[in-house]
């Protein structure tokens, strides 16, 4: 069964189609793996054993009956616990939603169900997706399968770690400032933030509506493309969702092509603050792409240096409003304080007890930034920076078909290392945030291990809005070139996980 | 409640010293099939918390979707108020914590309303016309309905607990905001009433709202301030919230003018605040302090894309607009030839449209008025409903009238026929048949009845024979009684006179 869980989603789907393995066997193998290692990883907040096996059994029966099935039917998947699911709890990693069950499915979950993909469970995250380490989860941190003392990235550390630890072949994440890509980078997995509007946000618990995007997490570029095609497309429930067709992403990943493409190295996303081992692996990737016939050009995005600051005004502003609904009145936690329980006191006590420090920090920041008299200086200025970043991207894409950078400036840091220094934590997203600010798609894939610590390094590819296919086309080539140098997938080099039971 | 009644100055005295400045925020609930941002039904009076989707409850993960019909209604209202329509406008979040607001923010519009810079002419009863400038009309969503239980006042203060019904949460609202209205002087209360009446009439005429104030379809917040005569600068205003009948609007504005005047006379500054209107005491009490610095932390709603209009769309909607109410009234009065008094009565009785439909169905304006102002209005009053709600159709009136004109029935019988039709007994002709209501036109039975009546009153018969023709009424009455009203009184008279050999 060990081989089964090491298969890519694509390979598993072929074995399922050929009836070499059943969906129940595959699902059970992953459930067994979760049982074996998740005690050490803590990637899952909820394991959906019964339903997953039921769905898998249904797929097996349908296949026996000769029904037409989606290629990913029977391929299990984990879902970030920020995405609502009927029949399973959804916590957003917060005490304030402890025990809450959604009466409706997110659009992406409906699509998973339509494709008949067994949902293994809900994965851990920083509370309301606020963080870069998954340490801000109210349910304990997730650990990095490469080194259990290190963070798996965040906010989607649970999804990335689950995929890296072979607890799931695929997972869904959400990416507001890098929450899919940065965990992908530090766990040696692939993560994609689609074009803003490319995947419906309906049912993704909002942190910052204008930045949030659901996307795939996987072990290969092709697997992300397969999942992206399942979840993408217009949704009438999301006014910001694009009406464009999803595009031939799987085809782009299968063909893979960089010859004659111009790949732009973003001058501002390297150098100071970037770990030496990260830059070494990054430059090796550039060499590989060049050798495969790509033209490597340097582009400048001078306003990217303001991206982090602007992000930390826009994101908390929107979050302060999006999180106002958690007040103990309609759902979730309700704390009734001693004394006369007025509505203000119940709301206050509920929010005081239900939200963690990082969430409170951002609510306060955002409330301040939107306040009369400060709005123009903070939120208003930040929106202007956003326009400038969009212009930087537009100019860069005049010179290059795709852009490239390290996904994160460092490899995985130690648990607790940056907990007391929010600014240092925020800096880990410096390379991923610009894509969210401009709505452009980004993909992170493993670029090897840093020499100094032996931990995974992520390479980020960025494409113009609606050109997600380019990410897969280039990503697939770089992936195969890198794997040729490693003699197999990077995750084959990951250590055995012990003490998981 | 035992409201502390403030000092007030007499209205006349207030008017001698001060000029009132008015301003109105009128909220109009649209009658769209679904809510502003969700597919939940927009319906009044249903079981609490049944017309809700996850969106209306603000559950985690939900997103709003704009109701296109509501946008068209907003544009129509804007056009009817002679506003400019924004080429592109945004929704904004108005952030405040209150349990009737599921998301703890209201999705509204802030800097760029869909309609702006309009005006309407308001005609008072004596024909005086005031032009009221419209600052903006914007789209937003209604809040849920709170019912505070266990307190003395029905307000949240002092309540033991509160019930919340989210059926109303998310109902589409258009908020219409005037510019400050100056120069109304002592006509201010009257103008206030007429303005709200005009808005109600316009949105009803457009068909975009049920416009029933008693159901809160049209709600008025009335702003009042006073400035000493001759002063340019406006005084401090108060905003009397949710004044929800036309009469109350007039009274509330009058009361606030009188109260402001007394406060200002005493040398105290007016407190900028919201006020609550109390119908029972016809007075206002202090609500919460309100300042221009109320911080709702507005910002553009990131979950919605901007509403973009274009000339073709706007012109299509403009072409669909019904005739404006004031012009329509002028045209109908001229067409029908009613006197000013007759027409005013018709308008006040709320039967103008019914008469219009009835005339269109094929009777004269005089006949239509006779029915709607007479029998139907009488029945409506008894049943305590609007005349139009009785279920009397124009076609029914046409049929009844045809039966009368053909002599089959008379006016009195026509009321019985109407009873039968409204009781579901069939068409007027069928009711005449079933109830045996036709006028007795066969002379045989009539002569029998006449002979009976003459025999019963020989002295009257003698008088008539003696030339006192006017006495025939008594015999006619006897015949009508004997035939249970089913005789044609004119024919009965003729026959009596013939029988007695007297010339009519």
Q: Rounded distance, CA A72 to CA A79, Å?
A: 15
The pLDDT value recorded for residue B3 is 45
Residue ranges with strand state E in A268-337: 295-299
Which residues in chain B are closer than 8 Å to A321, comparing Cβ atoms? 93, 95, 105, 297, 299
The two tokens of residue B193 are 């009433």
Which residues in chain A are closer than 8 Å to B95, comparing Cβ atoms? 320-321, 324, 370
Is residue B73 helix, strand or coil? Answer: helix
Chain A residue whose CA is closest to B307: A239
**Residue A318 CB partners (closer than 8 Å, separation 6+):** A206, A207, A208, A209, A210, A211, A366, B299, B302
Q: Chunked in runs of 10, what are the mean pLDDT values of chain B (504 residues)?
A: 70 96 98 98 95 97 98 98 97 95 97 97 87 98 93 75 94 98 96 96 95 93 96 95 92 97 94 92 85 80 97 96 89 92 87 92 93 91 84 90 85 85 87 80 80 87 85 86 81 84 71
The pLDDT value recorded for residue B434 is 85
Residue ranges with strand state E in A69-213: 77-80, 119-123, 170-174, 190-193
**Average pLDDT taken over every residue of chain A:** 96
> Do B435 and B481 form a contact (C-beta atoms < 8 A)?
no
Q: Who among B57, B95, B305 is closest to A321 (CB)? A: B95
Q: Rounded distance, CA A303 to CA A153, Å?
A: 25
What does DSSP assign to residue A54?
A: H
B contact test, residue of A214, A330, A352, A373 with most B CBs within 10 A: A330
Residue A184 lies in a domain: yes
Rounded to the nearest angstrom, the minimum Cα separation between A309 and chain B is 19
B457 interfaces chain A, CB cutoff of 8 Å: no
Rounded to the nearest angstrom, the minimum Cα separation between B239 and chain A is 22
Q: Who among A209, A331, A347 is closest to B59 (CB)? A: A331
B12 interfaces chain A, CB cutoff of 8 Å: no
B306 interfaces chain A, CB cutoff of 8 Å: no
Residue A62 lies in a domain: yes
Is B61–A324 a contact, with Cβ atoms under 8 angstroms apart?
Answer: no
The pLDDT value recorded for residue B454 is 87
Active site residues per annotation of A? 80, 155, 179
The pLDDT value recorded for residue A171 is 98
The pLDDT value recorded for residue B150 is 83
Which residues in chain B are closer than 8 Å to A372, comparing Cβ atoms? 293, 295, 297
Residue A108 lies in a domain: yes
Domain region containing A80 = 2-261+441-493
Which residues in chain B are closer than 8 Å to A343, comparing Cβ atoms? 99, 156, 162
Is B304–A239 a contact, with Cβ atoms under 8 angstroms apart?
Answer: yes
Chain A residue whose CA is closest to B103: A325
Which residues in chain A are closer than 8 Å to B295, comparing Cβ atoms? 371-372
Q: Who among A103, A210, A329 is closest to B54 (CB)? A: A103
Which residues in chain B are closer than 8 Å to A239, comparing Cβ atoms? 63-66, 303-305
Q: Rounded distance, CA B55 to CA A71, Å?
A: 33
Q: Rounded distance, CA B227 to CA B235, Å?
A: 5
* ipTM of this complex prediction, to 2 decimal places: 0.96
Q: Rounded distance, CA A83 to CA A108, Å?
A: 8
The two tokens of residue A98 are 């402890």
Is residue A456 helix, strand or coil? Answer: strand
Domain count, chain A: 1
How many Cα atoms sit within 13 Å of B424 on the Cβ side? 0
B305 interfaces chain A, CB cutoff of 8 Å: yes
Interface of A with B (CB under 8 A): 83-84, 90, 92, 97, 100, 102-104, 106, 201-206, 208-210, 236-240, 317-318, 320-321, 324-325, 327, 329-331, 343-344, 347, 367, 370-372, 375, 379
**Residue A410 CB partners (closer than 8 Å, separation 6+):** A274, A275, A278, A428
Residue A403 lies in a domain: no
The pLDDT value recorded for residue B290 is 65
Domains of chain B: 11-313 (no CATH), 322-435 (no CATH), 443-500 (1.10.10.410)
Model-level pTM?
A: 0.86
Q: Who among B61, B66, B305 is closest to A84 (CB)? A: B61
What CATH number does the domain containing A458 carry?
3.90.1300.10
pLDDT tens series, chain A, 501 aa: 458 999 999 999 999 999 999 999 999 999 999 999 999 999 999 999 999 999 999 999 999 999 999 999 999 999 999 999 999 999 999 999 999 999 999 999 999 999 999 999 999 999 999 999 999 999 999 999 999 999 999 999 999 999 999 999 999 999 999 999 999 999 999 999 999 999 999 999 999 999 999 999 999 999 999 999 999 999 999 999 999 999 999 999 999 999 999 999 999 998 888 999 999 999 999 999 999 999 999 999 999 999 999 999 999 999 999 999 999 999 999 999 998 888 899 999 999 999 999 999 999 999 999 998 899 999 999 999 999 999 999 999 999 999 999 999 999 999 999 998 888 889 999 999 999 999 999 999 999 999 999 999 999 999 999 999 999 999 999 999 999 999 999 999 999 998 777
Is B302–A92 a contact, with Cβ atoms under 8 angstroms apart?
Answer: no
**Residue B120: enclosing H or E segment and its boundaries?**
strand B115-123
Chain A residue whose CA is closest to B65: A239
Q: Who among A202, A240, A330 is closest to B57 (CB)? A: A330
B104 interfaces chain A, CB cutoff of 8 Å: yes
* Separation in Å, CA B248 to CA A225, B214, B223, B435: 64, 12, 14, 48
Q: Is B202 exposed, middle or buried (0-12, 13-18, 19+ CB in 10 A)?
A: buried
Chain B residue whose CA is closest to A378: B299
B360 interfaces chain A, CB cutoff of 8 Å: no
């Amino acid at each position: 069964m060990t081989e089964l869980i090491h298969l890519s989603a694509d390979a598993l789907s072929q074995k399922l189609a050929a009836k070499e393995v059943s969906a129940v066997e595959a699902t059970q193998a992953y459930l067994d793996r979760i049982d074996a290692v998740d005690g050490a990883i803590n990637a899952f907040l909820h394991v959906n054993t019964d339903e997953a096996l039921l769905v898998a059994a249904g797929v097996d029966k349908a296949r026996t009956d000769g029904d037409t099935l989606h290629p990913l039917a029977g391929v299990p998947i984990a879902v970030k616990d920020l995405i609502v699911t009927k029949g399973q709890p959804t916590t957003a990693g917060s005490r304030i939603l402890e025990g809450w069950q959604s009466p409706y499915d997110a659009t992406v979950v409906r699509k998973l169900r339509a494709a008949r993909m067994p949902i293994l469970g809900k994965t851990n995250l920083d509370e309301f997706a606020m963080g870069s380490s998954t340490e801000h989860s109210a349910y304990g941190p997730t650990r990095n399968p490469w080194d259990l003392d290190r963070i798996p990235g965040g906010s989607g550390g649970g999804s990335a770690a689950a995929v890296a630890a072979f607890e799931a072949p695929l997972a869904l994440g959400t990416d507001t400032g890098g929450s899919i890509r940065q965990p992908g980078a530090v766990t040696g997995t692939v993560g994609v933030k689609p074009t803003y509007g490319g995947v419906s946000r309906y049912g993704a618990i909002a942190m910052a509506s204008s930045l949030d995007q659901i996307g795939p997490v996987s072990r290969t570029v092709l697997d992300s493309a397969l999942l992206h095609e399942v979840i993408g497309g217009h949704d009438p429930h999301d006014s910001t969702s694009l009406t464009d067709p999803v595009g031939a992403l799987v085809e782009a990943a299968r063909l893979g092509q960089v010859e004659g493409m111009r790949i732009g190295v973003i001058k501002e996303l390297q150098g100071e603050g970037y770990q030496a081992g990260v830059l070494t692996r990054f430059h090796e990737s550039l060499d590989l792409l060049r050798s495969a016939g790509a033209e490597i050009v340097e582009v400048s995005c001078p306003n990217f240096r303001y991206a982090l600051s602007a992000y930390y005004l826009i994101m908390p502003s929107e979050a302060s409003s999006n999180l106002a609904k958690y007040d103990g009145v309609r759902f979730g936690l309700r704390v009734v304080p001693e004394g006369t329980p007025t509505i203000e006191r119940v709301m206050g006590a509920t929010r005081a007890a239900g939200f963690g420090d990082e969430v409170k920090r951002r609510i306060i920041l955002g409330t301040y930034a939107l306040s009369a008299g400060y709005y123009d200086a903070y939120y208003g200025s930040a929106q202007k920076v956003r326009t400038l970043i969009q212009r930087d991207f537009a100019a860069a894409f005049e010179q290059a078909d795709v852009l490239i950078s390290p996904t994160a400036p460092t490899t995985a840091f130690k648990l607790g290392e940056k907990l007391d220094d929010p600014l240092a934590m925020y800096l880990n997203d410096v390379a991923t945030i610009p894509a969210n600010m401009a709505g452009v798609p980004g993909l992170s894939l493993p670029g090897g291990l840093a020499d100094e610590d032996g931990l995974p390094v992520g390479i980020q590819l960025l494409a113009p809005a609606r050109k997600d296919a380019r990410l897969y086309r280039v990503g697939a080539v770089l992936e195969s070139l890198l794997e040729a140098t490693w003699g197999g997938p990077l995750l084959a080099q990951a250590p055995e996980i012990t003490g998981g039971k | 409640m035992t409201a502390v009644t403030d000092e007030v100055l007499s209205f006349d005295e207030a008017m001698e010293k001060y000029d009132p400045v008015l301003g109105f925020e009128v909220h109009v609930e649209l009658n769209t099939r679904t809510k502003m941002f969700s597919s939940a039904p927009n319906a009044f009076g249903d079981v609490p918390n049944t017309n809700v989707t996850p969106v209306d409850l603000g559950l985690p993960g939900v997103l709003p979707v704009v109701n296109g019909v509501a946008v068209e209604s907003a544009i129509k209202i804007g056009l009817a108020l002679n506003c400019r329509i924004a080429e592109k406008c945004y929704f904004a979040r108005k952030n405040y914590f209150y349990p009737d607001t599921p998301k703890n923010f209201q999705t509204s519009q802030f800097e760029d309303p869909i309609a702006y810079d309009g005006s309407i002419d308001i005609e008072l009863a004596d024909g005086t016309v005031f032009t009221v400038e419209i600052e903006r009309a914007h789209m937003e969503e209604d809040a849920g309905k709170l019912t505070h239980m266990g307190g003395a006042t029905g307000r949240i203060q002092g309540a033991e607990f509160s019930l919340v019904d989210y059926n109303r949460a998310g109902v589409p609202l258009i908020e219409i905001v005037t510019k400050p209205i100056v120069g109304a002087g002592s006509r201010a209360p009257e103008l206030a009433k007429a303005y709200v009446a005009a808005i109600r009439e316009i949105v009803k005429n457009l068909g975009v709202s049920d416009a029933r104030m008693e159901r809160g379809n049209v709600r008025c917040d009335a702003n009042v301030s006073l400035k000493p005569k001759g002063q340019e600068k406006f005084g401090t205003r108060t905003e009397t919230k949710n004044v929800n009948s036309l009469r109350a609007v007039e009274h509330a504005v009058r009361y606030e003018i009188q109260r402001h005047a007394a406060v200002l006379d005493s040398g105290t500054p007016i407190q900028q605040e919201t006020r609550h209107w109390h119908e029972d005491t016809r007075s206002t009490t202090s609500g919460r302090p309100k300042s221009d610095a109320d911080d709702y932390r507005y910002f553009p709603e990131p979950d919605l894309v901007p509403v973009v209009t274009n000339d073709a769309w706007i012109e299509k909607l403009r072409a669909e607009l019904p005739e404006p109410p004031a012009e329509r009234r002028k045209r109908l009065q001229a067409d029908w030839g009613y006197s000013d008094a007759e027409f005013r009565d018709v308008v006040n009785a709320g039967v103008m449209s019914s008469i219009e439909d009835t005339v269109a169905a094929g009777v004269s304006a005089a006949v239509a008025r006779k029915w709607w102002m007479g029998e139907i209005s009488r029945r409506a009053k008894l049943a305590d409903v609007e005349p139009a709600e009785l279920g009397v159709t124009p076609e029914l009136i046409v049929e009844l009238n045809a039966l009368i004109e053909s002599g089959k029935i008379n006016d009195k019988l026509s009321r019985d026929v109407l009873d039968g039709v409204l009781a579901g007994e069939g068409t007027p002709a069928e009711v005449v048949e079933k109830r045996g209501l036709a006028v007795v036109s066969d002379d045989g039975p009539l002569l029998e009845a006449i002979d009976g009546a003459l025999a019963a009153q020989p002295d009257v018969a003698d008088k008539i024979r003696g030339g006192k023709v006017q006495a025939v009424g008594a015999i006619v009455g006897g015949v009508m009684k004997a035939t249970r009203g089913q005789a044609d009184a004119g024919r009965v008279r003729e026959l009596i006179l013939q029988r007695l050999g007297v010339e009519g």
